[in-house]
Amino acid sequence: MNPTARRSGIFVEHLPKEVILYDKSSDRVHCLSETAAAIWENCDGTRSEDDLARLIEARLGTPADRKLVLQALEELEKAGLLEAGHDLVSSGVMTSRREAVGKIAMAGSALVATIVAPAPAAHASSGKPDPPPPPPPIRHNPPDPPPKGPNPPGPKPPVTPPGGKK
């Protein structure tokens, strides 16, 4: 099955060379490199990995690289940005997902960087650790969606670079 981008509940903001996606269903924010963004935007269920590689070559002027497309698809899938059903193994080149991931891991650095949107309570600064989340505010206008809970515990991960080193 050809890959299909998941678009429902996703807010898109275009930057000069990257795309920011806010996934309202998971409260995650993704930064897609130029390559990953071009692939995501063209995953319409009709294009194969080879089609996408040729499209990237035409659009970005880089040589058609199926490995790069597979890497991007893997990262997009992990980020929940593809509809269920796409499987790299079905592409016919990879004999197993493990092999696919292994080859992809050698291909380069991340094309999709992701953070979990912090809940407002994560910003409390009473000087005490782990404050409780604030209650839903009293609203006199149509309500905003309430916070879905505090961030998972643990240290904040660094921002991982889409598209490799500068």
Partner 1 sequence: MLTIPPRGGVHVPGQGLEALDVTSVRAYGVRIEFRVPAPLLAHLPVPIVPGAEQGSRGPADAVISVRVDHTADGGTLYEIAENGTVLGMEASLQAAASVVESWAQLTVATLARGLVFVHGGVVGWQNRAIVMPGRSLSGKSTLVLALVEAGANYYSDEYAVFDSDGRIHPYWRPPKLRVASDQEAASRLLGGVVSGSPPLPITLGLVLISRYEAGSRWLPRQLSCGETLLGLLDNTVPLRLRPEESVKTLAKAVANAQGFEGMRGEAADFAEQALGLLRRV
Q: How far is the CB of 2 from partner 1 (least distance, A)?
A: 27
| Binding flag, residue 6, partner 1 (CB under 8 A) | no
Q: Which is nearer to partner 1, 102 or 137 (CB)?
A: 137
- What type of residue sits at position 44? D
| Binding flag, residue 142, partner 1 (CB under 8 A) | no
Task: Calculate helix-pair angle for 66-78, 97-107, nearest 10 degrees.
Answer: 110
Contact region with partner 1 (CB under 8 A), list: 48-56, 76-84, 92-100, 151-159: 151-159
User: Measured between alpha carbons, how far is 63 from 77 in angstroms, rounded to an integer?
Assistant: 23
Q: How far is the CB of 52 from partner 1 (least distance, A)?
A: 21
Cβ neighbours of 149 (radius 10 Å): 11
Instruction: Give the strand pairing for 112-116 and 19-23.
Output: unpaired
Q: Check if the beta carbon of residue 52 is closer than 8 Å to that of residue 64.
A: no
Return the structure tokens found at 41: 């935007």
| Binding flag, residue 110, partner 1 (CB under 8 A) | no
| Binding flag, residue 117, partner 1 (CB under 8 A) | yes
The SS3 assignment for 74 reads helix
| Binding flag, residue 97, partner 1 (CB under 8 A) | no
- What type of residue sits at position 29? V
**Binding partner 1 by CB under 8 A: which of 4, 29, 83, 87?**
29
DSSP E strands in 55-136: the ranges are 112-116
Contact region with partner 1 (CB under 8 A), list: 67-75, 84-92, 97-105, 129-137: 129-137
Binding site for partner 1 (CB under 8 A): 11, 13, 15-20, 22, 24, 27, 29, 31-33, 113, 115, 117-128, 131-132, 134-140, 144-148, 156, 158-159, 161-163, 165-166
